[in-house]
Amino acid sequence: MHRLWVATCKEVIVAVLEAEVAVDPIARSWELYYRVRPQIETPENTGKLILFDLVSGDYEIAEDDLGFKATDALRARHPDADVLAQRIGYEATCSFNGGLERLPQ
């Protein structure tokens, strides 16, 4: 059984499906992020969403603010993907107070 959490924050919707992931999904997404950070953290990608399949480790970078097309592309390759989104170059995907902290270089 899949559980779905949806959190809205400004214009970003983040959906996390937790099913086959035996580890903490947030810790897993950071592990995947740091694995691909040198390739994805470029000036043109900074601030975009990156969506990870927490099981396979595959990812897609969103070209739109909400990440729906990237989610669809990821799910086309992995229909049962457990997806978590992060914002490239930032410590958080969204902020309730309007400010996001950049990741240390």
- The domain total for the chain is 1
Per-residue burial over 44-74, b = 16 or more CB atoms within 10 Å of its CB, e = otherwise: eeeebbbbbbbbeeebbbbeeeebeebbeeb
Instruction: Please report the pLDDT score of residue 22 as a whole number.
Output: 58
Structural domain that includes position 53: 24-94
pLDDT per position as a tens digit, 42-76: 999 999 999 999 989 999 999 887 888 999 999 99
Domain-embedded: residue 103: no
Instruction: Please report the pLDDT score of residue 64 as a whole number.
Output: 80
The position carrying tokens 């969506």 is: 51
2 pLDDT band (50/70/90 cuts)? very low
- pTM (2 decimals)? 0.73
Domain-embedded: residue 13: no
The better pLDDT of the pair 25, 50 is held by 50
Domain-embedded: residue 14: no
Domain-embedded: residue 40: yes
Domain-embedded: residue 28: yes
Which residues neighbour 45 within 8 Å (Cβ) at sequence distance 6 or greater?
Answer: 61, 88, 89
Is 90 exceeded by the pLDDT of residue 31? yes
